[in-house]
């Protein structure tokens, strides 16, 4: 098993290129199930979750080629509608095949999903919405068994709470449904927006893209002419490297970014004292003369993203004063706290609120990653710790970051991948 060995106390400089967004790519790969032709997707990040989703489609009978961050996917040959546990257990996003498989074939079986252990993320909202569209659903032996032999029907769906994957699943299902579907309280994340734009370009009329209410006119099971497209930049990867520049108080430049997707992150960093140069597809973060403590409450887009909470917790360790972070979305997303405390941090928890003392003196230690974003928080803390830190169980990290250690090396970090 691999681990990262990091020697702290090195300033960074230079530039880093941001890869495509994993969380945009996964539903877009699933959406190719709706296509009547092969689709080429560019700017796919070569991370484990992407390969898992491609393998899942291959197990269903699809064919694909992947080279140079580009995949050509042909789902016209799908002859199996069972997404098996062996693959689905590795990645929660596998549930995104449920909507398109059911809409296209009228029947499917999808194993209940796995993924990071950051808390309960039930799919009941997905299932309730599909039932409102006419599906018959039962849970049996760990599988969602869904049937709609006469196809799905347009319906008005009101999500009790905002759900990104739920919105994506139902958007894809509604694309092939008979009639109009209205999704109220839809997620507004850039990843949802791109999915809607791709389907819109394929001939499905979608109104309200980017808002919390979507109106989708389905094709009544006619497959779509999905055009080739390029995945948007990964706003979470970009935010993580901004935090790398911030925590080392360095000047670094991010290339191939969409700064409109990073507003809440940039504003919080500016509040802390950092300056920026923002160009068309490029952001440069500049050192702060004084780094201020902050308060964060995670919430849905366009608010502060839960996927950046762990990285900002690491960053708070160098701030002057006491910072607080309220995690509103996932109950188990503070598992990195104990590992940061092992390095010398002073972080206390009170239910879903973390209080962090700034200006911490950190020391290198053996620490263990517990989920994808926690992994990056430990790497960030290691960049400023005295001595050597070893971050173990980095298979979590590999699910979402492309060659993180190589990108940090190019910026000047002393980091290398080792084998246990």
Active centre residues (catalytic): 116
User: Scanning the structure block, which residue is given the tokens 């001595």?
Assistant: 387
Q: How big is the CA angle at 73 (ends 71 and 74), to the nearest 5 degrees?
A: 160
Determine the 3-state secondary structure of 5 from DSSP. strand
Q: What is the spatial distance between Cα 410 and Cα 139, in angstroms, rounded to a whole number?
A: 49
Beta carbons of 219 and 203 less than 8 angstroms apart: yes
CA 191 to CA 165: how far, in whole Å?
A: 10
Q: Which two tokens stand for residue 355?
A: 């209080």
Output the CA–CA distances (angstroms, integers) from residue 172 to 34, 122, 176, 223, in the order listed: 8, 19, 7, 12
**Residue 373 burial class via C-beta count within 10 angstroms: exposed 0-12, middle 13-18, buried 19 and up:** buried
Instruction: Map tokens 């839960």 to a residue.
Output: 306
**Distance separating alpha carbons of residues 147 and 152, to the nearest angstrom:** 9
**What is the C-alpha to C-alpha distance for residues 361 and 124, in angstroms, rounded to an integer?**
44
Asked, as a colleague might, if the bond just before 365 is cis with ω within 30 of 0, I would say no
């Amino acid at each position: 098993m691999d681990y990262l060995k990091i020697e702290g106390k090195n300033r960074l400089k230079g530039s880093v290129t941001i890869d495509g967004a994993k969380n945009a790519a996964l539903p877009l790969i699933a959406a190719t199930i709706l296509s009547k032709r092969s689709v080429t997707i560019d700017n796919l990040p070569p991370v484990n979750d992407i390969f898992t989703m491609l393998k899942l489609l291959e197990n269903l009978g699809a064919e694909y080629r992947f080279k140079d961050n580009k995949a050509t996917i042909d789902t016209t040959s799908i002859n199996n509608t069972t997404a098996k546990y062996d693959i689905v257990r590795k990645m929660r996003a596998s549930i995104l095949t449920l909507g398109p498989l059911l809409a296209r074939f009228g029947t499917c079986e999808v194993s209940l999903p796995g993924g990071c252990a950051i808390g309960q993320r039930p799919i009941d909202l997905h299932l309730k919405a599909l039932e409102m569209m006419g599906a018959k659903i039962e849970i049996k032996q760990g599988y969602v068994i869904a049937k709609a032999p006469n196809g799905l029907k347009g319906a008005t769906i009101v999500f009790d709470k905002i759900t990104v994957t739920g919105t994506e699943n139902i958007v894809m299902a509604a694309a092939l449904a008979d009639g109009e579907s209205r999704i109220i309280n839809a997620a507004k994340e850039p990843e949802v927006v791109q999915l809607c734009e791709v389907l819109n370009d394929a001939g499905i009329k979608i109104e309200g893209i980017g808002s919390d209410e979507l109106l989708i006119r389905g094709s009544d099971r006619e497959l779509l002419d999905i055009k080739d497209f390029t995945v948007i930049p990964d706003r979470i990867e970009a935010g993580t490297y901004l935090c790398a520049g911030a925590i080392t108080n360095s000047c670094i430049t991010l290339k191939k970014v969409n700064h409109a997707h990073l507003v809440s992150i940039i504003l919080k960093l500016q509040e802390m004292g950092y300056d920026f140069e923002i160009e068309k597809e490029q952001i440069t973060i500049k050192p702060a003369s004084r780094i201020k403590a902050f308060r964060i409450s995670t919430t849905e887009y366009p608010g502060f993203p839960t996927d950046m909470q762990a990285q900002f917790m690491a960053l708070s360790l160098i701030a002057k004063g006491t910072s607080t972070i309220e995690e509103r979305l996932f109950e188990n997303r503070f598992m990195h706290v104990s590992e940061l405390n092992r390095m010398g941090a002073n972080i206390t928890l009170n239910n879903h609120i973390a209080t962090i003392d700034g200006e911490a003196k950190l020391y290198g230690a053996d620490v263990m990653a517990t989920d994808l974003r926690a992994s990056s928080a430990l790497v960030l803390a290691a960049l400023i710790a005295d001595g050597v830190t070893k971050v173990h169980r980095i298979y979590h990290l590999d699910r979402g970051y492309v060659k993180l250690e190589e990108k940090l090396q190019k910026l000047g970090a002393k980091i290398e991948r080792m084998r246990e």
